[in-house]
Amino acid sequence: MLLKGNVGHDTWWKNIAEMGTPIIDCKGDKCTVTFFWRDPEGNEESSSTSAVYIEVNCITDHHKSEPETLTRVTGTDVWYWQTELLSDWHGTYQFIPVTSDYLPLLIRVIGTSYNIQQMKQNHRQWWRSILPFSVADPFNILSPKYCIWGQSRSHLYLPNAEYHNIWKIWDASETAQTLPYKNNRSLLASLQWKSQLLGNERTVWVFETQNSHSDLQSDKPLVLLLDGEIWAEYMPIFSALQQLTEESKLAPAFYVFVNNTSPSNRQVDFGCNSSFWQAIKDELLLDVNQRFNHRVSLKKRAVVGQSLGGLAAMYAGLSGLGMFSHVLCQSGSFWWPDSSLMSQWMKADKSVKEDAWLTTEVLNSNIANVNTHIVMQVGDQEKRLLALNHHFFKSLVKTHHKVSFTEYCGGHDQICWREGLVYFLLQYLTVPTLIANKRTTIL
């Protein structure tokens, strides 16, 4: 019905803007989702836009030779794309409008004389070349607009997806989401960690949440978040943490956001690197405790990581350093250090599959910490990681670790991770034992 009548007229677009996009029509546990993009240059005769690609996290496949594109309604400025999703799906999407200079045809023609691997490399380079053209959906009325993350992408929560109220408040903010909730009971410090053990320097943010009863409280829990720049700058979560604390839903705590020095160093630091974690223990955490007058708990400390950072968090929690009582591992990269294992474990057959390094170490009891409380989360759309995470979870259960496993409806996505982070904190910062939440949890 939306593509009939005065499609593309100002009144039609006004109606679309009032409804908000994408348009969702649900029947049972499935929803038809229709995305719209308005060409600022008008119809096909006046516009330089030759294609509008859409990237829906872990739903569309940009590895295909012809990624998903919106369709233009002839003679109008309307582009649209439709798909079907489960009613509890949540995640990220973005539009990528390009001119004819950036169409993939030339890349494919140049690559035809090469082998398949070279063609894949050409395609990967082309995809990366158009990513800077990514734009958010201006008609998405729920997605955050005032943070770096929200400038090039939008989020979508279908009706049955978990959408914590704190994120609804955060997303609706009409001010720049860069500073913590303004009051006199929170403290944010940015420091430069100059590591002698690692021979480098990086930014670290330390945020102390407080409520009216916790001023100068001692023995506060600590939460260390890897890929700290994401949570501190791209999607700053300070105000959400402080508000939950003021509402007495989270206990007051210290949050340490550890930045990466570079993408290449991230691969080194997060690759089950004992030197990195020794430096965290002997340098960073000691410095943080001293800065806050030794008020940081020595027993209640959590580490949080996603993707390769999830692998690193798991390694830190299981290692013999004894730094952390709790681990949140989201979408862990349990293929490391051999990325070909992802293809192996994607196969549904019963063929014998190789164990990655950390899995082998756990199964052989070379690395273990049965006193650590471990929470694993992974999306059911993460085809490259789902089976690997299931297998690692079973390895932990087999070796008598304290672990819970949650599979959510979504992908390898910051939006999904922020939901899981809040549910983890609501457990960790209220009671010392794991509590099952309403998510699909396997124990």
Enumerate the β-bridge partners of residue 223. 255, 302
Contact 9, 66 (CB under 8 A): no
> Per-residue pLDDT averaged across 164-190, rounded?
75
- 179-212 per-position pLDDT tens digit: 554 554 458 889 999 999 999 999 999 999 988 7
Q: What is the C-alpha separation between 287 and 276, in angstroms, rounded?
A: 15
Q: For residue 217, is pLDDT > 90?
A: no
pLDDT score recorded for residue 430: 80
3-state secondary structure at position 167: helix
Taking 70 as the threshold, does the pLDDT of residue 440 lie above it? no
Q: Which of 7-21, 109-123, 150-164, 167-181 has the lowest mean pLDDT?
A: 109-123
pLDDT at 354 over 90: yes
d(CA 373, CA 282) in angstroms, rounded, equals 22
Per-residue pLDDT at 176: 63
Which of 257, 381, 361, 254 is closest to 311 using CA atoms? 361
Give percent above pLDDT 70 in the chain: 91
Helix 414-428 × helix 238-246 angle, to 10°: 30
Q: Which of 1-15, 28-42, 233-247 has the lowest mean pLDDT?
A: 1-15
What pLDDT score does 184 carry? Answer: 45
Q: What is the pLDDT of residues 357-404, one digit of tens each?
A: 999 999 999 999 999 999 999 999 999 999 999 999 999 999 999 999
Kindly report the backbone phi and psi dihedral angles of residue 419, in degrees, each rounded to the nearest multiple of 5, phi listed first.
-65, -50
Question: What does residue 399 show for φ and ψ, rounded to 5 degrees?
Answer: -100, 20
54: its two tokens? 């859409």
State pLDDT tens for residues 76-98: 999 999 999 999 999 999 999 99
Residue 437 has pLDDT above 60, yes or no: no
Average pLDDT over residues 32-47: 98
* Tokens coding 442: 């396997």
**Structure confidence at residue 335 as a pLDDT band (50, 70, 90):** very high
pLDDT value of position 398: 98
Higher pLDDT among residues 174 and 80, named by residue:
80
Please report which confidence band the pLDDT of residue 116 belongs to, taking 50, 70 and 90 as the band edges: confident
